[in-house]
Amino acid sequence: MNILAISATFPSSTDPSRGVFVKERLKALALLDDVQVRVLAPTPWFPPLKRFSKWYRWSQFPYEEQIEGLPVYRPRYFLPPKVGGYVHPQLMHAAIVSAVDRIYREFRFDVLDAHYVYPAGALAVRLADRFNVPVVMTGRGEDMMRFPELPLVGNQIRRALKRAQGAIGVSQEIATRMLEHGASPDRTHVIANGVDTEKFYPKPQQDCRHALGLPLDGRIIVSVGDLLELKGFHLLVEAMPEVLRHEPKAMLIIVGGPGRFGRDHSSEIRAAIDRHQLHAHVRMVGARPHGELIDWYNAADLYAMMSSREGSPNVLLEALACGTPAIGTPVGGIPDELQDSARGELIPERTSKAAAATIVRALARSWDRQQIRGALMQRTWEATAQRVHQVLRDAVEQHAANPQLLNTSQAQ
């Protein structure tokens, strides 16, 4: 089976951390027998002007390259600021269709595997008409939790879902939203992200703390992600005064750099640290290499997430694979992972007060880190790929039996 994956969010040699979860799933798919994968990653055109740092990085993405064995094509398209997002798939399609024609001549793909219903899924149904292939699309976060309510965008999402021959939600919450907006119940599946259990595994806590220059005594809470409001780091900082009443040596470690895909919230987090005079108890260590995160997870007594929305959070899975217990807000895929109380606890509401109470309670518990690790051993990317492969296979077979099904209505 030849798979053309479509994802505007995908790593490059110049931005290797972008969309790692998409890359990992596709890499695992490509290792299956009789599967070939290529990646279409449409990229907005922008001139190489360094003073526009937010958009300059787009100009540096190679047009074609190999990322861990996956051929990646990045045709450019024009995306006007603000208004372009409302007609994103149309702008992509007009600019990249000739590039997809060329890919098809060299690689006759059997199915389109779109990551994010908008814009990739809406683009995919347009391309499917041209190449007479089925579409499977994966909902991953705000594409289903926020975008369906946007003017113009919502109708495009609903049309795309109605025409998809396979729909995957990375959490139960997202799959439910896909059903609400038109996905077929008998072709909608919940398949969470996997985790690399060979890269993330338990290590001696004291060794990790020593290597990272952290205190060898005292309780440590770790949270990882871009410094955006929706990640809730400021709420964890606000919770620390109450935590310190119970655990005087406790420390919060925030691992992550300035927000890349939204308004940076770094100054607000630092202001909260200043306001509560927490400089000895909160460290912002910046963005760290992905391969180093294993030490931060293992150095922690507890992993914490205060997100306002999530898909299937890889950082949570990575922490659990290291055997670190976790707490998190009941959004996205977090409840799916923490419904087993042996792994962690849900924070009942997204407030600093609720976070403090849950942290104190979790730090007082005795956790079986090997049991937590064991539960994640069945959640490898290989296992995830097997399930995704079946959805793709079903879509191809269904399309072969009824090839006019996808073309019952034309993309708008």
Question: Residue-wise over 365-392: b if at least 16 C-beta within 10 A, else e?
Answer: eebeeeebbebbeebbbeebbeebbebb
Structure-token match 């051993």, residue found: 377
pLDDT at 18: 85
Burial 71-95 (b: 16+ CB within 10 A, else e): bbbbbbbebeeeeebebbbbbbbeb
Residue 260: predicted pLDDT: 66
Q: What was the pLDDT predicted at 259?
A: 67
CA proximity to 217, closest of 248, 255, 253, 244: 248
Rounded to the nearest 10 degrees, what angle do helices 381-401 and 20-30 cross at?
Answer: 70
**Distance between CA atoms of 34 and 128, rounded to whole angstroms?**
22
Report which DSSP code applies to 48.
-
Q: Which helix (H) or strand (E) holds 298?
A: helix 293-299
| Banded model confidence at residue 263, pLDDT cuts 50, 70, 90 | confident
pLDDT at 381: 96
Q: Which two tokens stand for residue 90?
A: 């149309």
- Report phi then psi at 278, rounded to 5: -110, 20
Q: Please tell me the pTM assigned to this model.
A: 0.87
pLDDT at 65 exceeding the cut of 80: yes
Find the DSSP H helices in 1-107: 20-30, 53-60, 88-106
Find the mean pLDDT for residues 209-236: 96
| Structure tokens, 271 | 């202001």
Instruction: Please give the sequence-ordered ranges of beta strands (E in DSSP) within 98-228, or none if there are none.
Output: 111-115, 135-139, 166-169, 188-190, 220-224
284-312 pLDDT, tens digit per residue, is 999 998 899 999 999 999 999 999 999 89
The number of beta carbons lying within 10 Å of the beta carbon of residue 286 is 12
Question: Among 80-84, 394-398, 408-412, where is mean pLDDT lowest?
Answer: 408-412
pLDDT mean across residues, the chain = 93
Q: What are phi and psi of 198, to 5 degrees?
A: -85, -25
Domains in the chain, CATH or no CATH each: 2-194+381-408 (3.40.50.2000), 205-376 (3.40.50.2000)
Q: In this predicted model, what pLDDT tens digit does every residue of 11-57 receive, in sequence order?
A: 998 888 888 999 999 999 999 999 999 999 999 888 777 777 666 77
Q: Which residues face 115 on adjacent strands?
A: 138
DSSP 137-154: EEE-SHHHHTGGGSTTHH
| pLDDT confidence of residue 406 | 53
Q: What is the pLDDT of residues 117-146, one digit of tens each?
A: 999 999 999 999 999 999 999 999 999 999
Q: Tabulate helix, strand, coil % of the chain (nearest 5).
A: 45, 15, 35
Partnered with residue 169 across adjacent β-strands are 139, 190
Residue-wise pLDDT tens digits, 156-205: 999 999 999 999 999 999 999 999 999 999 999 999 999 999 999 999 99
Task: State the pLDDT confidence band at 410, using cuts at 50, 70 and 90.
Answer: very low
Q: Which residues contact 122 (CB under 8 A, 6 or more apart)?
A: 88, 89, 156, 157, 159, 160, 411
Sequence length of the chain is 412
Q: pLDDT value at position 411? A: 36
Contacts of 272 (CB under 8 A, 6+ apart): 234, 237, 238, 278
Contact 315, 225 (CB under 8 A): yes
Calculate mean pLDDT across residues 61-66: 90
User: Cβ(97)–Cβ(105) under 8 Å?
Assistant: no
Q: How big is the chain by its Cα radius of gyration, in Å?
A: 22
Tell me the one-letter amino acid at 264.
D
Alpha-carbon torsion angle 213, 214, 217, 220, nearest 10: -160
| Predicted confidence (pLDDT) at residue 246 exceeds the cutoff of 90 | yes
Reported as a pLDDT band with limits 50, 70 and 90, residue 261 is low
Average pLDDT over residues 272-294: 95
Q: Compute the half-sphere exposure of residue 206: CA atoms within 13 Å on the CB side of its CA.
A: 2
Amino acid sitting at position 43: T
pLDDT digits (tens, 9 = 90+) for 72-95: 999 998 988 878 889 999 999 999
Instruction: Report how far apart the first and last C-alpha atoms of the chain are (Å, whole number).
Output: 29
User: Which of 111-120, 150-159, 396-405 has the weakest average pLDDT?
Assistant: 396-405
Burial of 169 (0-12, 13-18, 19+ CB in 10 A): buried
